[in-house]
Amino acid sequence: MLAPAPGSPETLQWEAPDARADGRKRTVSLTRDLIVIARRREGVSMRIALRPAAYTGVLLRFTGLDGGGFGYEVSLLHPDPDLAVPLAGYDDEAEALRAWKAWARFVGASALVERVEGEYERADIGGAPCGPFPRRRGQGVGARRARFLANRKLGRRECGLKVERERELFAGWRDDD
């Protein structure tokens, strides 16, 4: 198991494997609102802080056979593989499913399942969101008219631009060039 299971503490911190970091490890701190990845590469310290919304979701995947049994991995999936966070590895399917659901609820991210390598699908685990909620109901923000424009009155036709035989721009004013 890589990370402590989500429970009562609000901040979870652990070391995770990182092939490109010095010492091949990085430190991951996770709260409900923020994920901080800290590592050292070629003597340079780096810290990256991301919101859980930046992640695609919590992924459950089959890792293969380990000594005659199945292996499962739970991780936070990110489009950039360097920012993906492995959370835990399990040999027991029931334990892996419990942890996967707990992580999805803790972070508030979508629950994802990898059935075919490289292809993910959302899973409804009951209680965890399956993606972002719509911002507003009905029309989108772009389709609405701005508030100050909604209260505007239309101009009167007689005060507008007139172009006839002679060049008369506004009522009562002539350009006699």
Tell me what pLDDT residue 158 has.
60
Q: What is the rounded average pLDDT for all residues in the chain?
A: 78
Strand partners, 4: none
The answer to the question of residue 88 being in a domain is: yes
Q: Are 97 and 76 in contact (CB under 8 A)?
A: no
For 97, list phi and psi in degrees, rounded to 5: -65, -40
The candidate with the shortest Cα–Cα distance to 63, out of 91, 87, 85, 101, is 91
The answer to the question of residue 65 being in a domain is: yes
Share of the chain above pLDDT 90, in %: 33
72, with CB counted inside 10 A (0-12, 13-18, 19+), is buried
The answer to the question of residue 144 being in a domain is: no
The answer to the question of residue 39 being in a domain is: yes
CA torsion angle for 100, 101, 103, 109 (degrees, to 10)? 110
Alpha helices in the chain (DSSP H): 93-107, 147-150
Q: What is the rounded CA–CA span in Å between residue 2 and residue 105?
A: 18
Tell me what pLDDT residue 176 has.
58
The answer to the question of residue 141 being in a domain is: no
pLDDT at 38 over 60: yes
User: Domains in the chain: how many in total?
Assistant: 1
The answer to the question of residue 98 being in a domain is: yes
Pick from 8-12, 94-98, 99-103: least confident: 8-12
Domain that holds residue 42: 12-123
Confidence at 1, pLDDT banded by 50, 70, 90: very low
Mean pLDDT of 140-148: 60
The answer to the question of residue 147 being in a domain is: no
The answer to the question of residue 18 being in a domain is: yes
